[in-house]
Amino acid sequence: MPAEQRGLGLVFQSYALWPHRTVQDNVAYGLKLRGVAADEIKTRVAKALEQIGLGHLAARYPHQLSGGQQQRVALARALVYEPPVILLDEPLSNLDAKLREEARAWLRQLITSLGLSALCVTHDQVEAMALADRIILLNGGVVEQEGTPTELYTAPRSLFAAEFMGSNSQLNGTLASRQGGQAEIEVEGQRLRGVDRGSAAPGAAATGVIRLEAVRVDGASGGNGLTMTLATQMYLGERWEVVFTRGATTVRAYAHAPLAEGEHHVEFPPDALWIF
Amino acid sequence: MRFGWYRFLVIAVAAVAVLAPLVLVFYQSFLDAPFFQPVTHFSLEAYSFILSESDFWDAFVTTLLIGAGMTAIAVPLGAILAFLIVRTDLPGRSWLEPVILVPIFVSAIVLAFGYVVALGPVGIFSIMVKSWIGVVPWNIYSLASIAIVAGLMHVPHVYLYTAAALRGLGTDLEEAARVIGANPWRVAIHVSLPMVMPAILFAAVLVFFLGFELFGIPLVLGDPQGILVLSTYLYKLTNLLGVPSYQLMAVVVVAIVVVTLPLIYLQRRLLRQSQRYVSMRGKGQRAAPLRLGNWRWPAFAFIALWFFVTVVLPIAGITLRSFVVTWGEGVKLTEVLTLDHYRALLNFPNIERGILNTLAIGTIGGAFAVVGYTLVALAIHRWNSGWVRFVDYIVMLPRAMPGIVAGLALLWVFLFFKPISPLRATLVSLWLAYTIVWFAYGMRLISGTLLQVAPELEEAARTVGASEARVMRDVSVPLIRYGMIASWLLIFLIFVREYSTGIYLLGPGTEVIGSLLVSLWGTGDVDLVSALSVINVAMIGIGLAIAVRLGVRLHA
């Protein structure tokens, strides 16, 4: 089916606002093509521009707008003829980092308040979780997992899903045992318990994945950890990122304060360690 | 679906316009008499006649020699010019580029006249030199002179492609060589030159190919000595046998096309190759230009000398000649000044019409040509189809026909197809010939601007519900309107300059300055020729000034 007969709304990554038309005319074009009467076009465009908070800029040309404003106009252009679904192609990738966070919040608010059906394509997992009610994770064109953001983040079904969302550390070892949803992996001569997510038989190679924020480095031992050497630590502002090594294994974690040089006990809570 | 019809309609019209003349020429070449005669037979007589003519073979060899000679002159000069302008701190390099391109827009026949009146045996500058040293140390009527003049005139073509390649070449590649210890000249020889070599090679083939299109220069400078090239041989053949010997002319045209078509194909391949090099660019930031030091002004003088010899000398000569009664040894300028030649132009209604027709074909005809090129360009715009290749070849074919050949072929088309015959004596025939001859050039201009329209601007219109035709009307065309105006200016310049295409179409009602100049030169009326030439140069000068003022890029 030719693109013009699909009746969808599409917001382009580069916005694709027509440079030879004003904001008003950009937004009005879809209505004009649908044969809407001139005065109705006017009111509907005004309403759409009001919704995106740019009612006062209708007479401007795209190049006179900031990147964030252009993105809003592109959205208004896709909204104005009330398509059943709006497609957003990496809607925030052209904005600089600070603006992106604002636009993200604004976009989420607009989608929920107007009750829009929006399909948003992104490779930024934070953006996906912030914007979406449901996430479909694609890997090479195949659906890897779908569900709510919480499901994807807290219960990844595959190694790809686990690695894709959030920041993780990997523990490579061999599977020691699996039973009743629990598994044990042997890493650097130590057995670690975790949630069974894989299908390998004991003795086969396995990978443990744990979110950085789940690794505990406060010295308390829950009996499921490794003694590791502090390799380096980086100040990130609100916290420190610390890197430990033991043999071939490297583990990253967050700490609230800088740690002392030397060896530390690094704890992997069994319910947060997924073994694939 | 309606847009699909539009596409095929446009392609069909373009294909007919391009193929009809060529097919007719091939058909004619296998007849034993002009096609309009009641009885004609298929025969190879014309081929055996032409191929056994020693004049034909002389002309063929002369064409090759001139082509090779002008290539040998234009390529090094053009490449050096490009390097000086793009990469060095040459004085005035910001305004030099439009100046360098001027020879492209000045009629070759006007320049040829200019050389005769300036440097001919009794030329204005020849006499000056003779009064100093006693002899005229050159002979303008020779094979070498033709090659040198043609070579100098085609320097801009080489310049354009080399400069574009040099600009496309990231300076970081050169910086990298500098950093590891190569001095600027080594960098030029070992890095820049090899990288732009494919572009230079392409330009060399182009210039050699353009050697087959030469007409004005060999006609004016070669004919008096009996030096013929293929195009002037064709021109002379018109009256060789008393009756119009169309079949013989057709054979010469076929001979020309048989040589030029492979050259065009070679150009396409080389162009693709040179673009492969350009795509190897690094990050495109501009580095500091190479310092010429003490060589700055000598380099500038070198360019100035080329420009003086190629443009200033002939145009100054012909301008001066147009304002004097006569010229010769011992003539004092103040005693011979006159405006009579310009007044005389008005006594000839056909010349007056020619001037108006030239303006009309440049402005109105140019506008229609741009519209036509745009229609074709839109028909294949962002179309994923094998037909695009077909159109590419259709566009390319007319290039194989030098202007004089295309004019002849078009004349035959108008004679052959009876329904359109009445148009032959109108400007429509001339316009069609011009538009076909410059098809490839015009398409390059228009599709160049169309390509600059970001595809998502058109896709966006599709997604909000516009059909393909609607997208063209509401998005693509409005976005390229400035490009179209710029193209119109360039086409105006080209159409006003054109002289060879109109020769065979010249008749009452279809006079233009270019073809009138050729026929007036035949009568030997230098007074009228020089005055009319100056008017032609003035038109082009005004058009060029407007184009430069508006910031139009002078090349496709």
> Which of A3, A17, A20 is the closest to B463 by Cβ?
A3
Mutate to test the interface with A, among B1, B452, B459, B464 (most CBs of A within 10 A): B464
Task: Please give the pLDDT value at position B303.
Answer: 93
Q: Which tokens sit at B440?
A: 């490839």
Query: B464 to chain A nearest CA, in Å?
Result: 5
A2–B467 CB contact, under 8 Å: yes
Task: Please give the pLDDT value at position B284.
Answer: 47
Domain residues for the domain of B495 are: 339-556
B478–A20 CB contact, under 8 Å: yes
Residue pointed to by tokens 């010229």: B327
Tell me which chain B residue has its CA closest to the CA of residue A25: B474
**CA B135, CA A165: separation in Å to the nearest integer?**
90
Indicate the residue among B308, B323, B338 that finishes a domain: B338
Residues 6+ apart with CB under 8 A from B350: B508, B511, B516
- Verify that B76 and B220 share a domain, yes or no: yes
User: What are the φ and ψ backbone dihedral angles of A204, each rounded to 5 degrees?
Assistant: -80, 165
**CA B74, CA B125: separation in Å to the nearest integer?**
24
Q: Domain with B416 in it: what CATH number?
A: 1.10.3720.10
Residues of B in contact with A12 (CB under 8 A): 456, 459-460
The tens digit of pLDDT for each residue in A203-255 reads 888 899 999 988 988 877 778 888 899 999 999 988 999 999 998 889 999 99
- Verify that B352 and B331 share a domain, yes or no: no
**CA B432, CA B446: separation in Å to the nearest integer?**
18
- Verify that B347 and B322 share a domain, yes or no: no
Contact predicate B191/B173, CB 8 Å: yes
Residue pointed to by tokens 């380099």: B299
Closest CA to B531 of B333, B332, B353, B344: B344
Q: How confident is the model at residue B353 (pLDDT cuts 50, 70, 90)?
A: very high
User: What are the φ and ψ backbone dihedral angles of B290, each rounded to 5 degrees?
Assistant: -65, 135
Residues 6+ apart with CB under 8 A from B39: B33
Tabulate helix, strand, coil % of chain A (nearest 5). 35, 30, 35
Task: Please give the pLDDT value at position B155.
Answer: 96
Residues of A in contact with B468 (CB under 8 A): 2
Interface of A with B (CB under 8 A): 2-10, 12-14, 16-20, 29-30, 33-34, 77-78, 81
- Verify that B301 and B353 share a domain, yes or no: no
**CA B323, CA B343: separation in Å to the nearest integer?**
11
Task: Identify the weakest region by mean pLDDT among A69-83, B11-25, B169-183, B377-391.
Answer: B169-183
Residue pointed to by tokens 């606002």: A17
Residues of A in contact with B478 (CB under 8 A): 20
Query: B376 to chain A nearest CA, in Å?
Result: 22
B460–A19 CB contact, under 8 Å: no
- Verify that B169 and B63 share a domain, yes or no: yes
Q: How confident is the model at residue A196 (pLDDT cuts 50, 70, 90)?
A: confident
Residues of A in contact with B475 (CB under 8 A): 18
Query: B393 to chain A nearest CA, in Å?
Result: 29
Contact predicate B136/B121, CB 8 Å: yes
- Verify that B208 and B197 share a domain, yes or no: yes
- Verify that B314 and B343 share a domain, yes or no: no
The tens digit of pLDDT for each residue in B502-541 reads 999 988 889 999 999 999 998 888 899 999 999 999 999 9
- Verify that B275 and B405 share a domain, yes or no: no
Share of chain A above pLDDT 70, in %: 100
The C-alpha angle with vertex B228 and arms to B227 and B233, in degrees rounded to 5, equals: 155
**CA B217, CA B229: separation in Å to the nearest integer?**
10
3-class SS of residue B431:
helix
The tens digit of pLDDT for each residue in B170-204 reads 677 777 777 787 777 788 888 888 888 888 999 99
The tens digit of pLDDT for each residue in B282-333 reads 444 555 677 788 888 999 999 999 999 999 999 999 999 999 887 777 777 7
Neighbours of B410 (CB within 10 A): 26
Q: How confident is the model at residue B66 (pLDDT cuts 50, 70, 90)?
A: very high
Q: Note whether residue B529 is domain-resident.
A: yes
- Verify that B266 and B305 share a domain, yes or no: yes
Which residues are A143's β-sheet partners?
Answer: A138
Closest CA to B393 of B5, B27, B11: B11
B475 close to A (CB below 8 A): yes
The terminus-to-terminus CA distance of chain A in angstroms comes to 42
Whole-angstrom CA distances from B144 to B54, B64, B66, B149, B356 are 21, 13, 8, 9, 37
Tally C-beta pairs within 8 A across A and B: 60
Q: Report the amino acid identity of residue B256.
A: I
Residues of B in contact with A7 (CB under 8 A): 465
Q: What is the pTM of this model?
A: 0.86
- Verify that B215 and B344 share a domain, yes or no: no
Query: A87 to chain B nearest CA, in Å?
Result: 10
Task: Please give the pLDDT value at position B107.
Answer: 92
pLDDT at B419 over 80: yes
**CA B209, CA B263: separation in Å to the nearest integer?**
6
Question: In terms of DSSP bridges, do strands A168-179 and A240-246 run parallel, antiparallel, or are they unpaired?
Answer: unpaired
Q: Which tokens sit at B221?
A: 């400078």
Mean pLDDT of A173-183: 86
- Verify that B481 and B533 share a domain, yes or no: yes
Residues of B in contact with A14 (CB under 8 A): 454, 456
Residues of B in contact with A2 (CB under 8 A): 462, 467-468
Contact predicate A56/A76, CB 8 Å: no
Mean pLDDT of B418-439: 92
pLDDT at B348 over 80: yes
